[in-house]
Amino acid sequence: MDSIAEVREAVKRFPAPEGGVITALDDISLNIQQGQFMTLLGPSGCGKTTLLRAISGFEDLDSGEVRIAGESVAGVPPYRRPVNTVFQNYALFPHLSVSGNVGYGLDLARVSKTEREQRVGEALERVNLSGFDRRKPAQLSGGQQQRVALARAIINQPKLLLLDEPLSALDRNLRQSMQLELKSLQHDLGICFLFVTHDQEEALTMSDQVVVLDHGRIEQIGPPEELYHQPATRFVAGFIGDGTLFSGTIENGAEDPILVTEDGLRISVGIGPSVGTKATLIIRPEHLNIAPQEPDNSLGILDAVLEQSVFQGATRQYVCKLANGTSISVSVAGSGDEALSNVNPGDPIRLAYRRNTPHLILES
């Protein structure tokens, strides 16, 4: 596959307002392939927007380089780079109509009037905004403004489209439908999308590849399934999806190895890790269920006390407390497990999981 954009060993530091230095990008390398939908995911301040701005040309790197279509773009100003951006606040030109906004790039390139009309019409059709070309941005809803910003950014047919948290200002329903629309738009256009977000659900829904960033470093790169089921670090495990993390040391148990936490909790894990290794186990709500009367050997057991039972529509969540005080959630599809419905808050409960299902992160 062809590489559309590549970042090599990028480093960027900013002076912190309270003195000292903030490292926004700490030796970042990544490669965006032809036709990919890649997401930069991380909490605020992790460097994801800085990385995006380094690619679009609004930020210079201290060291390392950005290559677009195989060529280094060091020193190339933003207006000469073959990438376009959808800005977080849309940044629509208030004095121009929808058509003026969408056709802005074509006007700069002095495209002929007939071609301009045609391409603006096509771009507006792609984002389902035909017939709105004479409106001013102020006369549009948030979702419509979002579509104008999208049409404006794709009309130049960039090699790479950068999207800086474009959905964060929309309400939940609109955001979810836009996620699917963006995904299919990306598929139809065949343009690479580099999407920045702090919302893990958004990242999982849309991406082919997710890059998890924290403190300017790449924690993990991979497809959404891999990040969810096999997080590489404690940070990724905690950031993506729900779940409870247990850190401790591996010891020998009666059959399989056991993870012993600092406060003495003993949790059996699947076969594999050698004794003495420090490790973190992540148990997600869907891994757990109520233990049968006579558990077989493949199950790990946790003793807990039920605290709360919460109806969530498609699922029901049971919040339980373990012996060491750690809170752990069990998620059951439907209106709830029959065995669990007889348990009242405050009652003891035995939770079971398949030993090899929860992912174990080994520390080197």
Partner 1 sequence: MATKRDLRSLSTLLTPSTLFLGIFFLGPLAVMIIFSFLEPGVYGGVVWNFYHWNYGRILGWADGEWEDFDPVYIDIFLRSVRLALTNVGITLLVCYPAALWVSGLSARWRTFVVFIITLPFFVSLVVRLFCWVLILRPSGFLSTSLMGLGIISEPIDIIYTETAVLIGMAYILLPFMFLPLYASIEKLDHSLLEASADLGANPFQTFWRVILPCTLPGIAAGAVLVFIPSLGNFIVPDLLGGAKVMMIGNLIEQQFLSARNWPFGSALSVMIMLVMFMLIVFYLRRIGRSEIVR
Residues near partner 1 (CB under 8 A): 56-58, 77-80, 83-85, 87-89, 91-95, 104-105, 107-109, 136, 138, 152-153, 156
To partner 1, the closest distance from the beta carbon of 118 in angstroms equals 18
How far apart, in whole angstroms, are the C-alpha atoms of residue 211 and residue 197? 10
Q: Nearer to partner 1 by C-beta: 77 or 334?
A: 77
Tell me the HSE value of 163 on the side-chain side, using a 13 A CA sphere: 33
3-class secondary structure, 95: coil
Q: Nearer to partner 1 by C-beta: 169 or 340?
A: 169
How far apart, in whole angstroms, are the C-alpha atoms of residue 5 and residue 54? 12
Q: Taking the alpha carbons of 118, 123, 125, 126 in that order, is the dihedral positive or negative?
A: positive
Q: Nearer to partner 1 by C-beta: 120 or 250?
A: 120
3-class secondary structure, 316: strand
How far apart, in whole angstroms, are the C-alpha atoms of residue 364 and residue 6? 29
Q: Nearer to partner 1 by C-beta: 92 or 267?
A: 92
Q: How are strands ordered across the β-sheet holding 278-283?
A: 266-268, 258-261, 244-251, 278-283, 359-362
To partner 1, the closest distance from the beta carbon of 137 in angstroms equals 9
To partner 1, the closest distance from the beta carbon of 295 in angstroms equals 58
Q: Nearer to partner 1 by C-beta: 90 or 228?
A: 90
To partner 1, the closest distance from the beta carbon of 91 in angstroms equals 4
To partner 1, the closest distance from the beta carbon of 109 in angstroms equals 7
| Structure token digits, residue 229 | 């089921």
